C-alpha cells in the first residue's frame, strides 16, 4: 500500500509543470512522439519510467487497510497556484491534472496523496487530437437524422478534451456450485382426425416435449483483468464500452505522461468496483454453467459463487471526450485514445425524420395515383363512330 505509507510520512500537496530542457517553455505529452514535446522549439524530451514490474495487489487485504486508515484521507477541493503564471484557481477534489484557466499551461498535481490508493500504471495517448476529431467527424457523418447543429459542432476548435480516466482491473479465481435441470427435447406421435375436402381422415403428427433431469455440479473459472470504470464524470456504461484496451502495453506510472491532459483520481471505490465486476463475472459463469449442463434447455435453480485469490490494479486509461447539448439534453461522446473506438449517445433531428416520412408518403402516393390512372385508361374502351367494323380502340 504505497499511498497509505506515503501519506503517513507527511507528503505535501504540490503542483508542477515540466520545462523544456532546451528553451524552458512548458512541455506537453505528444501522442505522435510518445514523449514530451515543446510546442515552441519542438524539442523532444523522452520519458523514461523506471524499469519496475507492474504489480497486482491483494483485494481483501487492501480493502481492510483502507477501512482501518479511513481518517487519513480527505476528498475536498483544493486551491492551487499555477506554476507558470502564478494565478490561483480551484481544483476539484477528483481532478489530478488540468490546464490553467488563465495561461492554459499544463498543471500536474500529486493529489493521490489524499487518496488511499495511487495509480502505478497507465496507457499513454496514442491518438492525437487532430486524428480524434477526424474519427468523430466521420462517425457523425455516418449517423442518419443527425441534427445540423451536431455537424457544425464537429468543426469547432475546442470541442475535444483529452483525459485520463481511472479504472480498476480485477483478477479472481472462482469456484461455482450449481443446481438445476437439463431439458432434452423428444417427440411423441399423436393421431388427429381432420376433414379434408369433406372427408374425415386421420393424420399423424409429432409433438415436441421436454424431459427434465435434475443436475448439479461445479464450474471453475479464472477471470483476468475484468475492467471497471472508476469515474463519475461520464456514465459508467460509456466508460466501460470503450473496450478493448491493450492492457499488455501498460506503462509504469509517470506524471509526465499527464502533462497537457486532464486526469482524475477514482470516484468509484475499490470494493464498489468489485461489485460491478462480480456482475460481469456472474453473467459469464452462468453461460459456462449452461454449457456444462448441456441438453436443449437449461434451468439454473441455485448458484453459489466463491471468489479466491482476488487481486486488482489501479490504472489510468486515455480517452478523448466531447460534450454536446441539443434540445436541453446533454450528449457525451468518448474515443478510446489507443484504438480509435468511438462510443456515445446521439441526438435525432425530428424535422429530418418528418421530412423523410413526408417524402416517402408523397412518392408512394404518386406511384399509387399513376398506377390507378393507368388502370383506368386500360379499362376505358373507345368505339369510333366512323369505324364500320366497330373496332375497339384501347387508349394507353
Model confidence band, residue 245 (pLDDT cutoffs 50, 70, 90): very high
Tell me the pLDDT band of 61, cut-offs 50, 70 and 90: very high
Query: Same domain, yes or no, for 121 and 10?
Result: yes
Residue 253 confidence (pLDDT) above 80: yes
Q: Are residues 265 and 362 in the same domain?
A: no
pLDDT in tens, 88-137: 888 888 899 999 888 888 999 988 888 889 999 999 999 998 898 888 88
pLDDT tens for 151-187 read 777 676 556 789 999 999 999 999 999 999 999 999 9
**Do residue 278 and residue 339 come from a single domain?**
yes
Q: What is the pLDDT of residues 199-244, one digit of tens each?
A: 888 888 888 999 999 999 999 999 999 999 999 888 888 888 899 9
| Per-residue pLDDT band at 74 (split at 50, 70, 90) | low
Q: Is residue 130 part of a domain?
A: yes
Which comes out higher in pLDDT, residue 390 or 358? Answer: 358
Alpha helices (H) along 39-168: 59-68, 129-141, 148-153
Decide which of 374 and 131 is more confident: 131
Give the residue among 110, 136, 50, 45 at the shortest CA–CA distance from 319.
136
Closest CA to 55 of 315, 313, 316: 313
d(CA 278, CA 147): 39
- Quickly state the pLDDT bin for 382 (edges 50, 70, 90): very low
Q: Is residue 138 part of a domain?
A: yes
The model's pTM is 0.81
Is 76 a domain residue?
Answer: yes
Provide the number of structural domains found in the chain: 2
Which of 23 and 309 is assigned the larger pLDDT? 309
Instruction: Find the mean pLDDT for residues 365-388.
Output: 63
Task: Compute the radius of gyration of the chain from its Cα atoms.
Answer: 33
| Cα torsion 353, 355, 361, 367: sign | negative
Residue 38 lies in a domain: yes
Q: Is the pLDDT of residue 393 over 50?
A: no
User: Where in the sequence is the domain holding 271, given as residue range(s)?
Assistant: 2-173+219-289+306-348
SS3 170: strand
For residues 236 and 366, membership in a common domain is answered with no
Same domain, 361 and 275: no
State residue 310's pLDDT score.
97
The confidence band for 389, taking pLDDT boundaries of 50, 70 and 90, is very low
Residue 157 to residue 143: CA distance in whole angstroms: 21
384 and 240 in a single domain? The answer is no
Q: Are 112 and 2 in contact (CB under 8 A)?
A: no
> Which of 275, 312, 273, 253 is closest to 112 using CA atoms?
253
Residue 383 pLDDT grade (very low, low, confident, very high; cuts 50, 70, 90): very low
- b or e along 135-151 (b: 16 or more beta carbons within 10 Å of the residue's beta carbon)? bbeebbeeeeebbeebe
β 161-196/262-264 pair status: parallel
Considering the domain architecture, whether residues 107 and 121 belong to the same structural domain is answered as: yes
Q: 335 and 226 share a domain?
A: yes
Residue 169 lies in a domain: yes
pLDDT at 386: 52
Q: Does residue 322 share a domain with residue 228?
A: yes
In a domain, 185, yes or no: no
- Residue 124 maps to a domain: yes
For residues 312 and 371, membership in a common domain is answered with no
**Are 369 and 268 found together in one domain?**
no
The residue to which cell 439534453 is assigned? 329
* Whether residue 338 is found in the same domain as residue 358: no
Answer whether residue 388 shows pLDDT above 70.
Answer: no
Give the model confidence (pLDDT) of 4-58 as tens digits.
544 444 567 888 889 888 888 889 999 999 999 988 888 898 888 888 889 999 9
Report yes or no on 334 lying in a domain.
Answer: yes
Give the contacts of 80 (CB within 8 A, at least 6 positions apart). Answer: 15, 88, 89, 90, 91, 107, 109
What was the pLDDT predicted at 294? 95
Amino acid at each position: 500500500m504505497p499511498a497509505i505509507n506515503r501519506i503517513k510520512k507527511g507528503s505535501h500537496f504540490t503542483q508542477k509543470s515540466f520545462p523544456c530542457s532546451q528553451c524552458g517553455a512548458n512541455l506537453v505529452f505528444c501522442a505522435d512522439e510518445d514523449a514530451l514535446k515543446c510546442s515552441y522549439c519542438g524539442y523532444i524530451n523522452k520519458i523514461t519510467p523506471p524499469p519496475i514490474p507492474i504489480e497486482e495487489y491483494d483485494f481483501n487485504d487492501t480493502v481492510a487497510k483502507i477501512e482501518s486508515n479511513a481518517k487519513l484521507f480527505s476528498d475536498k477541493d483544493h486551491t492551487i497556484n499555477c506554476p507558470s503564471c502564478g494565478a490561483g484557481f480551484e481544483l476539484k477534489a477528483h481532478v489530478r491534472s488540468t490546464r490553467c484557466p488563465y495561461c492554459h499551461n499544463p498543471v500536474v498535481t500529486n493529489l493521490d496523496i489524499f487518496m488511499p490508493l495511487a495509480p502505478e500504471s497507465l496507457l499513454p495517448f496514442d491518438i492525437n487530437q487532430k486524428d480524434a476529431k477526424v474519427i468523430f467527424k466521420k462517425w457523425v457523418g455516418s449517423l442518419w437524422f443527425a441534427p445540423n447543429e451536431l455537424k457544425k459542432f464537429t468543426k469547432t476548435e475546442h470541442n475535444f478534451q483529452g483525459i485520463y480516466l481511472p479504472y480498476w482491473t480485477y483478477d479472481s479465481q472462482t469456484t461455482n456450485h450449481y443446481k438445476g435441470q437439463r431439458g432434452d427435447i423428444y417427440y411423441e406421435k399423436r393421431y388427429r382426425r381432420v376433414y379434408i375436402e369433406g372427408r374425415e381422415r386421420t393424420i399423424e403428427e409429432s409433438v415436441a416435449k421436454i424431459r427434465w433431469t435434475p443436475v448439479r455440479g461445479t464450474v471453475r473459472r479464472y477471470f483476468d483483468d475484468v475492467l471497471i470504470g472508476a469515474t463519475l464524470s461520464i456514465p459508467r456504461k460509456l466508460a466501460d464500452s470503450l473496450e478493448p484496451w491493450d492492457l499488455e502495453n501498460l506503462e509504469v506510472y509517470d506524471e509526465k505522461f499527464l502533462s497537457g491532459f486532464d486526469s482524475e483520481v477514482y470516484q468509484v471505490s475499490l470494493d464498489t468496483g468489485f461489485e460491478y465486476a462480480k456482475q460481469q463475472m456472474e453473467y459469464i459463469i452462468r453461460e459456462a454453467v449452461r454449457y456444462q449442463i448441456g441438453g436443449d434447455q437449461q434451468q439454473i435453480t441455485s448458484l453459489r459463487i466463491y471468489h479466491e485469490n482476488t487481486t486488482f490494479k489501479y490504472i489510468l486509461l486515455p480517452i478523448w471526450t466531447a460534450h454536446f447539448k441539443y434540445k436541453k439534453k446533454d450528449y457525451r461522446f468518448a474515443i478510446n485514445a489507443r484504438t480509435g473506438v468511438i462510443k456515445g449517445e446521439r441526438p435525432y433531428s425530428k424535422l429530418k425524420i418528418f421530412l423523410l416520412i413526408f417524402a416517402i408518403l408523397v412518392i408512394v402516393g404518386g406511384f399509387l395515383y399513376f398506377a390507378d390512372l393507368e388502370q383506368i385508361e386500360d379499362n376505358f374502351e373507345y368505339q369510333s363512330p366512323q369505324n364500320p367494323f366497330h373496332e375497339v380502340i384501347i387508349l394507353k
